Amino acid sequence: MSNLVIILVSLGIFFNFAGCVGLIRFPDIYNRLQASTKCVTMGTILILVAVMVHFGWNSITLKAFFCILFILLTAPTAAHAISRGSHRAGFPLWEGSVVDRYQEDFPQNKKE
Amino acid sequence: MVFFLIALLICCFFCLYRIGAGPTPPDRTVAIDILGILMIGFCAILSLFTGKDLYMNVAISWALLAFIGTIALAKYLEGRTFDE
C-alpha cells in the first residue's frame, strides 16, 4: 500500500470527522446541514478515490467510480430536500441568523 | 486499518448522539443521512484493506437506499402526502 493511499484515506477521515463535529456543535438545523453534508461528502469521495488509486484498472475501481457518481448526485439532492421541507414546515432559524431570503420570497411558508 | 475504522466509528457515534438528542425532527433526519454516507466510507475502507469485491457492492446499494429513505423522510417533514 503506497503512501498516497494512506494520505488520501487520512484526509478523508479528517473531513468526515470535521463534518460530524459540525453536526454536534452547530446551533441550528440549517447550519448543521450546511456543515455536515459538504464535509462528509468530500471525505467519502476522498476515501473512494483512495480505493481507485490502490486497485488500478480493476472492477473495484469501476464500482468506486459509480459510487462517487451516486454520492455526487444524491447527497446535495437529499440536503436540499431536507432544508426545503423543514423550512416549509416552519422549523425556526437560529436566533443569531441575520437574513432569511427564502422567507422573503415565499411568505406563505409558515413562520414560528 | 483498525485506527481508520475506529475513527469512523467515533464519527458514527456523533451521528447517533444527534439522532438521540436532536431537538427537532430535521436534526434526526440530517443525522440519518450523514450516517448513511459514513457507512459508504466504512465499506470502502473494508474493501481497501481486505481486497474483496463484495464491500463495494454493499456501498453502492447502501448509497441508493439511504437516498430513497432520506427523500421519504424529507417529504414527511414537509407535511404532504407521498403521492404528489
Residue B84 lies in a domain: no
The predicted structure's pLDDT at residue A110: 65
* Prediction pTM value: 0.88
The predicted structure's pLDDT at residue A85: 87
Q: What is the mean pLDDT of residues A67-92?
A: 89
Q: What is the mean pLDDT of residues A73-98?
A: 87
Residue boundaries of the structural domains of chain A = 3-105
CB pairs under 8 A between A and B: 148
- B31: nearest CA partner in chain A: A23
How far is residue A85's CA from residue A63's CA, in Å, rounded to a whole number?
32
Residue B34 lies in a domain: yes
Residue B59 lies in a domain: yes
B47 touching A, CB under 8 A? yes
Contacts of B63 in chain A (CB under 8 A): 67, 70-71, 74
Residue A80: all three cell numbers together: 436540499
Q: Which tens digits make up the pLDDT trace of B6-58?
A: 999 999 999 999 999 878 888 998 999 999 999 999 999 999 889 888 999 99
Tally of CA atoms within 13 A in the half-sphere of B25 that contains its CB: 15
DSSP SS3 for B1: coil
Residue A11: all three cell numbers together: 484526509
Among A41-45, A68-72, A96-100, B66-70, which is the least confidently predicted range? Answer: A96-100
DSSP SS3 for A93: coil
Residue B82 lies in a domain: no
- Residues whose CB falls within 8 Å of the CB of residue A106, separated by 6 or more in sequence, listed in order: none
Residue B24 lies in a domain: yes
Which amino acid would we find at residue A87?
A: H
Question: Residue A33 — φ and ψ, nearest 5°?
Answer: -65, -45
Nearest in space to A42 (alpha carbons), one of B27, B34, B52, B49: B34
A85 touching B, CB under 8 A? yes
Residue A109: all three cell numbers together: 411558508
Asked if A33 contacts B30 with a C-beta cutoff of 8 angstroms, the reply is yes
Nearest in space to B62 (alpha carbons), one of B49, B46, B51, B76: B46
Asked if A46 contacts A16 with a C-beta cutoff of 8 angstroms, the reply is no
Q: Which tens digits make up the pLDDT trace of A36-73?
A: 899 999 999 999 999 999 998 888 999 999 999 999 99
Structural domain tally of chain B? 1
How far is residue B7's CA from residue A11's CA, in Å, rounded to a whole number?
12
Q: Does domain A3-105 have CATH number 1.25.40?
A: no
From B38, B47, B77, residue closest to A60, measured CB to CB: B47
DSSP string of A42-55?
A: HHHHHHHHHHHHHH
For residue A4, the 8-state DSSP code is: H
B2 touching A, CB under 8 A? no
Query: What residues 4-63 of chain A have any CB closer than 8 A to a CB of chain B?
Result: 5, 9-10, 12-13, 16-17, 19-21, 23-24, 29, 32-33, 36-37, 40-41, 43-44, 47-48, 50-51, 54, 59-60, 63
DSSP SS3 for B40: helix
- pLDDT band at A92; cut points 50, 70, 90: confident
Domain extent at residue B26: 2-77
